[in-house]
């Protein structure tokens, strides 16, 4: 079972700025950690990060060729991108949304998630552990073991 773990704009800056909101682990260390946790769960991973909306749409479409599900943190495109929502709906792969910070307690403009409308799971405010929890959640759905608590 293989998952695409997709990150949107500015998430490559993890650990470099705003540690109070996004933590101190940098993007590469996050990838290493999440990949190792997934490996231990028997989940293969493909990571991709882009600052460009169209690249993210392409990555979602490409996932149809090799992935069983998508873990997505669309960054700020969460709150603006109908293109990403449409791509997730078009491929119709099981998907889970991750936000490192607790967007529910932040600015009003972060209260809408378009991408989240095409996701079966939502992992919000759990830091980088949210990626691992999202992967575990998708594994349960994909392997047919039903739902797990988020
Ligand atoms: O909490 C999240 O994971 C977000 O998706 C992060 C986005 C933000 O626009 C969403 O509302 C919530 C921003 C990613 C920016 O990441 C940075 C990381 C370190 C330093 C600066 C930005």
Ligand 1 center from residue 89 Cα (angstroms): 23
Query: Residue 13 is part of a domain; what is its CATH number?
Result: 3.40.50.9100
Task: Answer for the pair 124, 99: CB distance below 8 angstroms, yes or no.
Answer: yes
Task: Answer for the pair 31, 71: CB distance below 8 angstroms, yes or no.
Answer: no
Instruction: Determine, yes or no, domain membership for 147.
Output: no
| Selection from 88, 85, 77 nearest residue 53 by Cα | 77
Atom of ligand 1 nearest to the CA of 18: 20
Instruction: Determine, yes or no, domain membership for 131.
Output: yes
The predicted-structure confidence for 59-113, as pLDDT tens digits, reads as follows 999 999 999 999 999 999 999 999 999 999 999 999 999 999 999 999 999 999 9
Instruction: Determine, yes or no, domain membership for 149.
Output: no
Instruction: Determine, yes or no, domain membership for 91.
Output: yes
Instruction: Determine, yes or no, domain membership for 148.
Output: no
pLDDT of 147 strictly over 60: no
Q: Which domain holds residue 83?
A: 2-142
Residue with CA at minimum distance from ligand 1 atom 15: 10
The predicted-structure confidence for 32-61, as pLDDT tens digits, reads as follows 999 999 999 999 999 999 999 999 999 999
pLDDT of 148 strictly over 70: no
The predicted-structure confidence for 87-97, as pLDDT tens digits, reads as follows 999 999 999 99
pLDDT reported for residue 26: 95
Counting the structural domains of the chain, the total is 1
Residues in the ligand 1 pocket, defined by CB under 6 Å: 10-11, 13-14, 16-18, 22, 73, 75-76, 78, 99-101, 103, 110
Instruction: Determine, yes or no, domain membership for 14.
Output: yes
Largest Cα separation within the chain, whole Å, is 40
Q: If you average pLDDT over every residue of the chain, what do you get? A: 96
Q: For Cα atoms 82, 150, 46, give the angle at the middle one, nearest 5 degrees.
A: 60
pLDDT of 140 strictly over 80: yes
Q: What gap in Å lies between CA 6 and CA 65, rounded to an integer?
A: 15
C-alpha dist (Å) from residue 24 to 18, 21, 100: 8, 9, 12
Instruction: Determine, yes or no, domain membership for 150.
Output: no
Ligand 1 center from residue 10 Cα (angstroms): 7
């Amino acid at each position: 079972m293989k998952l695409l773990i997709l990150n949107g704009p500015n998430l490559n800056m993890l650990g470099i700025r705003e540690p109070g909101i996004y933590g101190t682990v940098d993007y590469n260390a996050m990838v290493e950690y999440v990949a190792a946790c997934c490996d231990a769960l028997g989940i293969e991973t493909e990571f991709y990060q882009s600052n460009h909306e169209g690249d993210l749409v392409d990555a979602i479409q490409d996932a149809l060729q090799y992935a069983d599900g998508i873990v997505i943190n669309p960054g700020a495109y969460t709150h603006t991108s109908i293109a990403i929502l449409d791509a997730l709906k078009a491929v119709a792969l099981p998907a889970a949304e991750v936000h490192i910070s607790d967007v529910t307690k932040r600015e009003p403009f972060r209260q809408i998630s378009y991408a989240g409308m095409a996701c079966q799971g939502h992992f919000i405010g759990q830091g980088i552990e949210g990626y691992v929890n999202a992967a575990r959640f998708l594994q349960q759905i994909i392997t047919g073991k039903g739902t797990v608590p988020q």
